[in-house]
Chains A and B, each alone.
Chain A
Amino acid sequence: MKSVLFGAVAVALACAVPVLAHHSPAAFDRSKEVKLVGTVKDFRWQNPHTWIEVLVPDEKGKEVLWGVELTSPTYLIRAGWKSNTIKPGDKVTVVVNPVRSGEPAGIFRSLTLADGRVLTERPARLGTPDSK
């Protein structure tokens, strides 16, 4: 984890995933993924969005604070998350779709924990046409 793995990787996503957000999804570039290898500074388990702050060393070794937006706990719980899944100081790898402005922020795609476990989000969808 000492090595810096930091860079924008253009990825043609097979399909767009609807964004569960209170804001427009247009700020994010869904055609790109950025892999952040760093240390958790904060993890807020709250509605309407959960968010992670990750300190990521840049090419010169200077730590850059990245903001990562996730869906609400409702959907994260269904994908196996808990409020203590990560905590400050944890070494993590987070993949995001970055904001188009180039600022250090993005919307969540996946999380790899130090023990190798990978967590994603559950698609934001509740109920079926048959539920009664």
Chain B
Amino acid sequence: MRQIAAVVLIGAVVSASCSPSQSPAPAASTTPAADGTVEEGKQLSALAPANIAKARPKAPFDVTGNWFIDVSQNPEAWRFGPPYPKLTPAAQVHWDAAKKYTAEGKVYRDDIGQCWPAGLPLIMTRYWPMAMVQIPTAIYMISGFMNSVRIVYLDGRKHTDADIIVRTYNGESIGTWEGDTLVVDTIGFRGDHHWMDQGGVAIPAGEQLHIVERFKMVGNQLEIEYTMTDPEHWDGDWKSTKRFNRVIDEDIQEVSCLPDLNEHLQSTTSKTQVLK
């Protein structure tokens, strides 16, 4: 059922017969490409029936659900600092500029407000729920914030070759199970208009950003421990642990940053904005 839900969620057209309980899947990666199927040895899609049907150990837990950052103890829990790591000169310039302009009552480089994607890690902690659907080969995440899509692959694939990877704001996430923990490794980020914080704190996220997330279930909460490195912008590991609550009475909705949005939100276009 969750496989079907995932298919519906991403709008893919896949026959319901993909369920391994309904019909045996064909053997993977053995058919030549001439008939439109996958070349031998080529990575199958996470939604390919043959990939879903492969024998795998049962996942220790299932994150399928809507999740919302736990701000019950701290309304600022969506931020990944303080504490903040020691910044490099390349990042310190932006940190200092944000402090200066904030003191002047201005807003420095608020690219999310200008409709650029929040990107990882901030996309995980926006004040909108994150819908997650887990199948054996992947976790599909869709944020209630601008419907940003993030896919964590669980099917054993490796990261895409650096020569061909298409850099994105949520990056490329590969998950592996270590005991009762899901370890998600993410690289391949875009390094422009991508920030680690918002609202008076400006730390850029660069192309060298590397995020390791350790997902655990703690009681009814989802805990994610973040370890983030970006030698272009800070020294060493930047660590932060977040807890998420299940949202059982609200679904995500269609949300877009449409051209007329900021036109009617004067704060995003006012003289307070420092865009460059």
| Interface residues in chain A, defined as those with a beta carbon under 8 Å from any beta carbon in chain B | 16, 18, 20-29, 44, 47-49, 51, 53, 67, 69, 72, 74, 99-101, 103-107, 124-132
Contacts and interface: CB of A to CB of B under 8 A. Distances in A.
A101 B272 contact: yes
Contacts of A100: 105-106, 272
B110 interface: yes
Contact of B248 (A67, A69, A99, A131): A131
Interface in B90-136: 102, 105-107, 110, 112-115, 127-129
A107 B267 contact: yes
B133 to A, nearest CB: 17
A127 B68 contact: yes
A18 B270 contact: no
A131 B264 contact: no
B52 to A, nearest CB: 27
Counting chain B CB atoms within 10 Å of each CB, the highest count among A53, A107, A130, A131 belongs to A131
A74 B249 CA distance: 11
Interface string B255-268: 11100010011111
Contacts of A106: 267
B273 A27 contact: yes
A130 B255 contact: no
A99 B270 contact: yes
A64 B30 CA distance: 70
A44 B262 CA distance: 13
Contacts of B273: 27
B71 interface: yes
Interface residues of B, number: 51
Contacts of B129: 126-127
A74 to B, nearest CB: 6
A24 B199 contact: yes
B127 A18 contact: yes
List 5 A-B pairs, minimum CB-CB distance, nearest first: A23-B113, A127-B245, A105-B266, A100-B105, A27-B267
Contacts of B250: 74, 126
Given A49-B265, A67-B265, A129 B245 contact: yes
Nearest to B220: A132
B221 A27 contact: no
Contacts of B264: 44, 51, 53, 67
A22 B257 contact: yes
A23 B107 CA distance: 10
A26 B200 contact: yes
Nearest to B109: A24
B243 interface: yes
B229 interface: no
A99 B245 contact: no
B226 interface: no
A127 B102 CA distance: 32
A22 B261 CA distance: 10
A132 B270 CA distance: 42
Given A23-B112, A24-B107, A127-B67, A18 B266 contact: no
B230 to A, nearest CB: 21
Contacts of B221: 129
5 contacts: A22-B145, A24-B113, A26-B107, A26-B200, A47-B256
